[in-house]
């Protein structure tokens, strides 16, 4: 009987201590979780403290003329693609190079423009977005936006992603500049309208550029990676949105070439017209001046 009682007592003690161990284990887990929560909260507070320095924000307008914008296509298998073979173009490595003046948004008025004027000397093509700036203010040589975007991911003539480097210079004679890197998804087909309607710039009665409105490229984000002059050590981010664009890319199907078989060309007979206007929103840890 004593042995049995002792056994029961031992079992009771064992159960009691096991219960204590279980409670202590749960408390340790709760403490660990609480510590993790506190650590995450402190991390968020530190991040918020770092971001609190980005208190300066301002919007700018960049206007680029046609002669200050270039779309460069890498060399293809054939310099002159065959008829209806613009779909075979590979735009990987193609780049857009631009340089435009920076203006105060309050000084730039965007108006509707349905087709070009007679002064443009074109076949009445439509502007991308059907808008254009009403007039161009006087440009300050110390305020400009320039750089290059390269197509880094494509599907034939369709651009899927790009990588860009820009200089946003805001005074100081052109020496106070913000360096911007933009690398992200960017879905855009610069030849879309030409591919959809191959007779847009054809011959005879097939011309129909007035019936097609080119698409504007999508907006994209960028990161401030430093700068020069007053913007040395700058951090922050930008957003670039195109609000007006040029007329169609003048691709022509010429039946008089290659024994009337037809060849697709991009000649200079129908130069593009229109200003490229971009809205640039900037958030930085360095004060941003008002554009002249």
pLDDT in tens, 157-203: 899 999 999 999 999 999 999 999 999 999 999 877 665 555 555 54
Q: According to the model, what pLDDT value does residue 122 have? A: 53
Look at residue 292 and tell me if it is in a domain.
no
> What number is the average pLDDT over the span 220-235?
96
Whose tokens are 């129908």? That residue is: 270
One domain for residues 62 and 156: yes
Q: According to the model, what pLDDT value does residue 279 have? A: 98
Burial 191-219 (b: 16+ CB within 10 A, else e): bbbbbebbebbbeeeebebeebbbebbee
Give me the domain span that covers residue 274. Answer: 58-284
Q: According to the model, what pLDDT value does residue 193 have? A: 65
One domain for residues 118 and 187: yes
**Is the CB of residue 126 less than 8 Å from the CB of residue 115?**
yes
One domain for residues 67 and 47: no
Look at residue 199 and tell me if it is in a domain.
yes
Cα–Cα dist 60/41, whole Å: 36
> Reduced to 3 states, what is the DSSP secondary structure of residue 51?
helix
One domain for residues 93 and 204: yes
CB within 8 Å of 60: residues ≥ 6 apart: 102, 103, 104, 105, 145, 168, 170, 279, 280, 282, 291
- Structural domain count of the chain: 2
Q: According to the model, what pLDDT value does residue 15 have? A: 41
Residue 123: HSE in the Cβ half-sphere, 13 Å Cα cutoff = 20
> What number is the average pLDDT over the span 273-291?
96
Look at residue 215 and tell me if it is in a domain.
yes
């Amino acid at each position: 009987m004593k042995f049995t009682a002792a056994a029961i007592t031992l079992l009771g003690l064992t159960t009691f201590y096991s219960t204590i161990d279980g409670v202590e284990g749960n408390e340790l887990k709760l403490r660990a979780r609480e510590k993790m929560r506190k650590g995450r909260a402190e991390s968020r507070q530190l991040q918020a403290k770092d971001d609190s320095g980005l208190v300066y924000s301002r919007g700018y307008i960049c206007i680029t003329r046609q002669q200050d914008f270039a779309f460069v296509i890498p060399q293809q298998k054939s310099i002159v693609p065959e008829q209806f073979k613009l779909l075979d173009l590979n735009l990987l490595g193609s780049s857009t190079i631009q340089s435009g003046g920076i203006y105060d948004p309050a000084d730039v008025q965007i108006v509707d423009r349905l087709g070009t004027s007679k002064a443009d000397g074109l076949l009445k093509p439509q502007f991308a977005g059907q808008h254009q700036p009403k007039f161009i203010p006087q440009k300050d040589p110390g305020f400009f936006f320039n750089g290059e975007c390269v197509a880094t991911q494509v599907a034939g003539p369709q651009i899927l992603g790009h990588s860009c480097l820009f200089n946003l210079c805001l005074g100081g004679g052109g020496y106070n500049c913000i360096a911007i890197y933009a690398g992200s998804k960017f879905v855009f087909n610069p030849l879309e309208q030409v591919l959809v309607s191959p007779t847009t710039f054809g011959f005879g009665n097939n011309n129909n550029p007035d019936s097609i409105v080119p698409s504007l490229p999508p907006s994209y984000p960028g990161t401030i990676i430093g700068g020069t002059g007053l913007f040395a050590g700058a951090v922050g981010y930008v957003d670039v949105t195109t609000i007006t664009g040029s007329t169609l890319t003048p691709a022509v199907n010429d039946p008089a070439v290659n024994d009337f078989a037809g060849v697709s060309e991009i000649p200079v007979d129908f130069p593009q017209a229109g200003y490229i206007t971009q809205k640039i929103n900037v958030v930085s840890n360095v004060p941003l001046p008002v554009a002249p």
